[in-house]
Structure 1
Amino acid sequence: MEFRLLGPLEAWHAGEAVVLGGQRQRTVLAALLMRANSSANVGYLAEAVWEKPPVAPESNLRTYVAGLRRVFTAAGENRLVTRPGGYLITVEPGELDLETFRQLARTGDQAWRDSDFGSAAEHFERALSLWRGQPLAGLTPGPVLRAEIARLEDLRLTIAERYAHALVELGRPEAAVSDLRTLLAEHPLREELWAQLMVALHRAGRQAEALDAFADARRHLVTELGLEPGARLQRVQQEILAGEQPQDTEISAWRQLPMDIAEFTGRQAELRTLHALAEPASRTALTVAVIHGMPGVGKTRLAVHFAHQLVDAGRFDEIQLWTDLRGFDADRPPISPAAVLEHFLRLLGVPGQQIPQELESRAALYRSRLADKRALVLLDNAASEEQIRPLLPGTKGSLVLVTSRRNLAGLVGARGVPLDVLPETDAITLLSLIAGDDRVEAEPQAAARTTALCGRLPIALSLAARRLRKRPMWTVKDLATRLETAERRLDQLAPGTREMHALFTMSYQGLPQPQQRMFRLLGLHPGDDFTAESVAALAQCTPEEAEFHLEAMLDEHLVQQITPRRYRFHDLVRPYARDLAQANETGQPVHRLYTWYLYAAESARNVFDPHRGRTFDLHPLPEHSVVPQFAGHDEALAWYESERGTLRAVVKAAAEDGLPEVAWQLAWVLLSFYYRRSHWDDWIATFQIALDATRSLGERRGEGIIWLGLGVAYSDLRQFTTAIDCHQKAQAILEEVDDRRGQAWNLNNLGVVYVYLERLTAAADCFHRGLLLFRETGDRQGEGICLNNLGDTYRRLDRPSNAIGHLEQALSIQQDTGDQRGLQFTLGTLGDIHHDAGNHKQAVRSYEEALAVSQALGDQRTAARMLANLAQTLDADGESASARIRWQEAMTIFDELGDAQADTIRARLG
């Protein structure tokens, strides 16, 4: 299969165009192909596909990926692989025009740099011939993909400029003129294109036209930007007027890098990333790398060390500019870009009287002084994107390194290099290096404990090591003990206490009072991450206020953002926040959060399982709590998936922290989600906690309900003996408290276990008893599901007429009540009856109807079962190719769910 991105998106197989589906689905494919053979995470895909991504894009993306899998499967291809947190598409050499273009561009660029202009021109010409217009024309991509397209366009222009230069050097200037004029019609503000056109015309003996080209360039620049032509264009004009051949002049600049740090250690992965970004063969545009991370993580150390590595290797040895932008200085304000530009321009040889006063003019002069040069610019401690933008060179050969506590995501084209704490091995090495003796090596366990207590944060490790060096009589264990037992751990890092506290406290105290309080309360949040909605419940404010405060903390790197609208603490900041909360907060504010999660989960459950009622009152909701509402099945299920880890943590925390009633009720609410998505580990863990919670309260009815839920979980896991034991315990308790509706559901689910065990008479008895109770309590959903199960049991007993009678009753109830969840099962059972009778066409129709309902509900597990049943029927009807496609679709879903049925299908497919 061949893929084409350099124009409208196309895929070709065996000489024929492949239909790729709707625009969103094609945009997902384009985003995956932009990162072919590399994993593309959900965050990247969401920003590539949507202008404003949905709250939880995972479900939508899963649908588009499934559609693409069907496209590839129909073509006999297996391209898409699910990876943790995202997807990967495999492409072989020569199959993707973008990769071919990049390879030709790299090869041509290297030849161009080596002055092998013949080879360069050949490779550039082949590369440019692959373009069929604007990349991904016809799609409406999100900001990430638009940035990728802009970079590609810039790469194309760079190659076109160098192609023209190579043709001129080969004595073929006339060949360059036509292409350059065409490109300038589209990009009249690109000065290097004008410069190449002027050179080509001059070399062709067309001096008057070359000077006319300068006049045209000046008119465009002055009219549209208000700027005079840059130094490069002016120099070419002067050389043409003087009758000289245009050539470059050298710039001499100070070498401004600060000294390297002798105790630098580790960071090999980050250094590899930075070296890859700075590699000439892969850089066709200005490279901007933003090293960002929490206070004290070593951003400046890494940037300086990397810069020295480049210079020592002979890279950027001509121009090295550095400044501390003071973005996070407690005593002084950040340096203005205008002041930095004045400093840089003086270093670049511009006399003071020639430096403009306006920021834009200074930036333009700065870019012109670095035109076609390879400069290394290190901008340390940046406060914002606005502080950085005027300081970026306009040339492709330069490298800009930025360090900041903020990720500066608004800096278009910049590549973020996040910096986390050190791995344990590197942390121990740093501790030993600074301590300066063999104590650290002699006590490896104490050293590992010490690094953990320092959070493996480089500045904390440095302070601890220096204290150890000043206390030669201490062992490493002594230091670890002091850190472990201290009421305030940072105080034990004296004499660096103020320095260590200042790293967090300066950012914390810089927040307004409401944000300071929210930061403290976040230390009590039981989840690994949190949203504005949950934080609003914790802090008793609106979600809009919570999001505003979280974004402010994100800017200060006090919290991190893992996916759109989800935040988390760094592991070292969390205990700092918790310490502040314990010292400053009173009462039980976290109880509001536990109860909010109970009501939020119930709100989502009511959307995708509205017919499953409850016969108990929820724990009261605190006043002014804003419970989220969900527009449909996809949104509700996506919320559950995104909050899954936190929901499990809330059940545990509520049980341990004085709200056992919330713990067991929340577990019960989660049953619908766990059943639909097969999250068995979470299911059993939360229900075991809930079981203990009901017993601590003496809540017998709740205990019976929880035993029922455990029975369903163990039944799904094919642990039937355990499942029967759970259902029998549930039945005894539910009869004891006279919960007749609970008994009906328990009997229904016990009957399902007996069906699995082929104990069909016992199963029928359970269903009959349950049916009577469902009718007695007026539970129409339960009645419909039980009728379906009874019909399936009669089918297995080879009594099809009895089976159909019960199924028709089930269909009538489900259609009357709109119970889509129950309808999918009944349609599936009807398909089974038709399949058994050899009525394959009717079976296919029933399975397809059931599949459509399951997909609309987002019920992946039932959808996979219907796909497997459909495949089996198609295979029996002689449609093996169609059957194989359905088998593969079912296998993909089972794989994502971690269901063992995937292996059964895989073995069948060979």
Structure 2
Amino acid sequence: MASVVPRVEKPSAADRRGVSLNVHKVSVRLLGPMEVRVGSRPIAVVGSRRRVLLALLAVAAPAPLLAETLGGRIWPDLPAAGTRKKVQTLVVRLRQDLEFDAIERGPGGYRLRCDVEDLDIAHFDSLLSEAARADDPMGERDLLAAALDLWRGDPFDGIDCGWLLDHVAPRLTERYLAAIGRRIELDLAAGRHAESIAELRVLTGRYPLHEAGWEQLLKALNSAGRPTEALAAYAEVRGLLATELGIEPGSQLQGIYRGLLQADAERQPPEFVPQQLPQTVRRFIGRSADLATLDALLPVADDAGQVLCATIVGGGGVGKTALALRWAHRVRHEFGDGQLYLNLRGFGRTDPLEPMAALEALLRSLGFTADQIPRSGTARTRALRGRLSGKRTLVVLDNVRDVDQIRQLLPGLVGVRAPVLITSRNRLRDLNRLGCHRTIELGMMPSQEAVDVLTAALDETSHHRRAAELAELARLCGHLPLALAIAGEQLARQPWATTAEVIDRLNASRPRLDAFDSPDDPTTSLRAVFSWSYRGLDTGTAQLFRMLGQHTGSDITVRTAAALVGTDEPDAARKLRRLVDEHLLVTHGPNHFELPDLLRSYALELPAPAGPTDDVTEDL
């Protein structure tokens, strides 16, 4: 029998130089941009194909790869059999980069000599296997965290190899997502909600179509007491899936969403009946025709598809709020589900209420707490509609600046079985397109009603005042309810003064509006009330208003206005319409306008505009 001769391994180049292999251990990191080290020294692998070759060997290690297999993956467009020579040349150059014989050649092909812990991909898989066998959650969590720490970015970043990107990278990413999902699950079980939510937001941003990450985010937000954010997250992922893939969320994600909706319904605040109408004026006089117009809104038809609203428009001090509240108090018994009142501060000393703040105020009035109020305007509108739809709740939106201020709010009132009453100095022309059914243009009071307002302000000992004098005083007040109220208050406070004396004092006042200052509340003086409308004008329209104050004629035409400000007639007509819309000018026909005396007095107090030439003035 032939003797067996022991096989002697041929020493490597490193062994022949007497250098320890540990010094030349190669490590390759591919979970992110490629990093190569020999021992503790970083190595630059030059050339894209050499980098691909090293990545392929590292992924396969410790198994070898045939030259034909390597060639087919490095040069996919060439016949694999014709790439052997190219692979051999590439191996030689890679060995030169590594500076020692880290690549072995055997019957099975080429193999990279290295340990598992020196290859981050192999080490990642090893740690995941060990985590799966862990006996306790803390140990499992630590092993998963160690595995995830190996990731520095996308696998094979910067390596131009279609085979690696198409066949290996997706498997690694799936394992990464499963591992991070399990680690976050353990963190949530341990009560680490805040950290997990922050991490899940990053994760869903990086992998927006990975539904499992969204499922965990929804659960985490809900567990942290943030259900509104969870519902918003569901809306976000649903939109993403529809846009990118044309599909609905999966059954698990939809199940979580249904659970959120059910819990949200259970958390809704108990319903109560709001009673928010402010106190109305003690003596309300006149406006019977306007009250009858509002009465025609009753009974309210059941129409779930529209907003039944009435708008009361008119200039400052004309009594819009007083009329709205008078009618609301008179019919409040018709609305068993309550009355809501909101001052939108469209005209006044403070800034107008923002639409989002208006929605929040109404929701709070209906019993919503801060954490129950949605963050987005659309969600707030939906919540308002959900609470009021089908209810007999009267809503008064007072002092609206313009349509934009309530455009987002009105859809939340669709289906309310009660009118929505709106007051504004602006005509709010676009409201017709939003479903407004009635517009009441509130003008100055008729002569007798104006006298009745003054008479009602006097005490029982003041019947000696003559009706003719009161009529003259009412005329000097422009039949404006606010001016009448101020004058009536002055009469009541000075019972010794005759009406004629009050009229003389009013005629002698310079500036004229000083006679209409309110000692108790400066914000109700005519000057302040007029200023809030004037401040909203654009520069050109404000200039025209000031010029009209200096114009001596009573009848104003488009041609007159164009001459006053030196513009063309279409532009002058636009400015005049704006003044009419803001109730700073009265119209008597398509081309005839008038500036009431009290508004003229206010215009004269404003800084003088650049006036017309003498020729223009003479022509006018």
TM-score by length of 1: 0.35
Corresponding residue for residue 424 of structure 1: 447
Say whether residues 1:455 and 2:482 are aligned partners. no
Q: 1:378 to 1:491 in 2, by over 3 A?
A: same
Q: 1:298 aligns with which of 299, 309, 319?
A: 319
Whether contact under 8 Å (2:390, 2:416) holds in the other structure is yes
Aligned-partner residue type, residue 287 of structure 1: L
Whether contact under 8 Å (1:538, 1:590) holds in the other structure is no
Rounded Cα–Cα distance in structure 1 between residues aligned with 2:288 and 2:368: 39
Rounded Cα–Cα distance in structure 1 between residues aligned with 2:589 and 2:428: 16
Please list every run of 5 or more consecutive structure 1 residues that lacks an aligned counterpart in the other structure. Answer: 1-218, 225-236, 242-248, 596-653, 655-910
Rounded Cα–Cα distance in structure 2 between residues aligned with 1:340 and 1:578: 33
Aligned-partner residue type, residue 371 of structure 1: S
Q: 2:384 aligns with which of 350, 356, 366?
A: 366
Q: Could you say what secondary structure the match of 2:335 adopts?
A: coil
TM-score by length of 2: 0.51
Give deviations 1:21-68, integer Å, cap 9, x for gaps. xxxxxxxxxxxxxxxxxxxxxxxxxxxxxxxxxxxxxxxxxxxxxxxx
Aligned-partner residue type, residue 393 of structure 2: A
Q: CA deviation at 1:573?
A: 4.8
Whether contact under 8 Å (1:287, 1:400) holds in the other structure is yes
Corresponding residue for residue 505 of structure 2: 482
Q: 1:396 to 1:341 in 2, by over 3 A?
A: closer
Give deviations 1:552-579, integer Å, cap 9, x for gaps. 4345321256667x57345345532674
Corresponding residue for residue 359 of structure 2: 341
Corresponding residue for residue 547 of structure 2: 521
Corresponding residue for residue 253 of structure 1: 273
Q: CA deviation at 1:250?
A: 9.8
Q: CA deviation at 1:260?
A: 1.8
Q: CA deviation at 1:396?
A: 5.2
Q: CA deviation at 1:591?
A: 5.4
Identity among equivalent pairs (%):
32
Q: 1:223 to 1:463 in 2, by over 3 A?
A: farther
Give deviations 1:480-536, integer Å, cap 9, x for gaps. 2222333433222344477121122333355455433311222427363532x5422
Corresponding residue for residue 320 of structure 1: 339
The count of residues paired between Structure 1 and Structure 2 equals: 351
**Range moving further from structure 2, 281-290 or 259-268:** 281-290
Q: CA deviation at 1:587?
A: 7.4
Whether contact under 8 Å (2:530, 2:599) holds in the other structure is no
Q: CA deviation at 1:353?
A: 2.0
Whether contact under 8 Å (2:547, 2:611) holds in the other structure is no
Whether contact under 8 Å (2:283, 2:456) holds in the other structure is yes
Give deviations 1:765-819, integer Å, cap 9, x for gaps. xxxxxxxxxxxxxxxxxxxxxxxxxxxxxxxxxxxxxxxxxxxxxxxxxxxxxxx
Say whether residues 1:538 and 2:564 are aligned partners. yes
Rounded Cα–Cα distance in structure 2 between residues aligned with 1:438 and 1:481: 22
Q: Could you say what secondary structure the match of 1:410 adopts?
A: helix
Aligned-partner residue type, residue 367 of structure 2: G
How big is the alpha-carbon RMSD for the aligned residues of Structure 1 and Structure 2? 3.6
Q: 1:384 aligns with which of 377, 402, 405?
A: 402
Corresponding residue for residue 740 of structure 1: none
Rounded Cα–Cα distance in structure 2 between residues aligned with 1:267 and 1:301: 10
Q: CA deviation at 1:251?
A: 4.5
Corresponding residue for residue 620 of structure 1: none
* Paired residues for 1:62-211 under 5 Å: none
Corresponding residue for residue 3 of structure 2: none
Whether contact under 8 Å (2:388, 2:416) holds in the other structure is no
Please list every run of 5 or more consecutive structure 2 residues that lacks an aligned counterpart in the other structure. Answer: 1-237, 244-257, 263-268
Aligned-partner residue type, residue 547 of structure 2: L
Whether contact under 8 Å (2:302, 2:417) holds in the other structure is no
Q: CA deviation at 1:385?
A: 0.6
Structure number with larger C-alpha Rg: 2
Q: Could you say what secondary structure the match of 2:488 adopts?
A: helix
* Paired residues for 1:344-355 under 5 Å: 344-355=362-373
* Paired residues for 1:768-847 under 5 Å: none
Q: CA deviation at 1:449?
A: 0.6
Corresponding residue for residue 118 of structure 2: none
Rounded Cα–Cα distance in structure 2 between residues aligned with 1:417 and 1:223: 47
Q: 1:495 to 1:416 in 2, by over 3 A?
A: closer
Q: CA deviation at 1:291?
A: 0.7
Give deviations 1:122-176, integer Å, cap 9, x for gaps. xxxxxxxxxxxxxxxxxxxxxxxxxxxxxxxxxxxxxxxxxxxxxxxxxxxxxxx
Q: CA deviation at 1:282?
A: 10
Say whether residues 1:575 and 2:600 are aligned partners. yes
Aligned-partner residue type, residue 530 of structure 2: F
* Paired residues for 1:207-246 under 5 Å: none
Rounded Cα–Cα distance in structure 2 between residues aligned with 1:347 and 1:500: 32
Q: CA deviation at 1:305?
A: 0.8
Whether contact under 8 Å (1:440, 1:476) holds in the other structure is no
Rounded Cα–Cα distance in structure 2 between residues aligned with 1:492 and 1:419: 24
Q: Could you say what secondary structure the match of 1:270 adopts?
A: helix
Q: 1:265 aligns with which of 285, 289, 293?
A: 285
Q: 1:586 to 1:537 in 2, by over 3 A?
A: closer
Aligned-partner residue type, residue 280 of structure 1: V
Corresponding residue for residue 415 of structure 2: 395
Corresponding residue for residue 287 of structure 1: 308
Q: 1:355 to 1:588 in 2, by over 3 A?
A: closer
Higher helix share: 1
Corresponding residue for residue 405 of structure 1: 425
Q: CA deviation at 1:318?
A: 1.7
Aligned-partner residue type, residue 395 of structure 1: G
Whether contact under 8 Å (1:558, 1:573) holds in the other structure is no
Rounded Cα–Cα distance in structure 1 between residues aligned with 2:358 and 2:459: 39
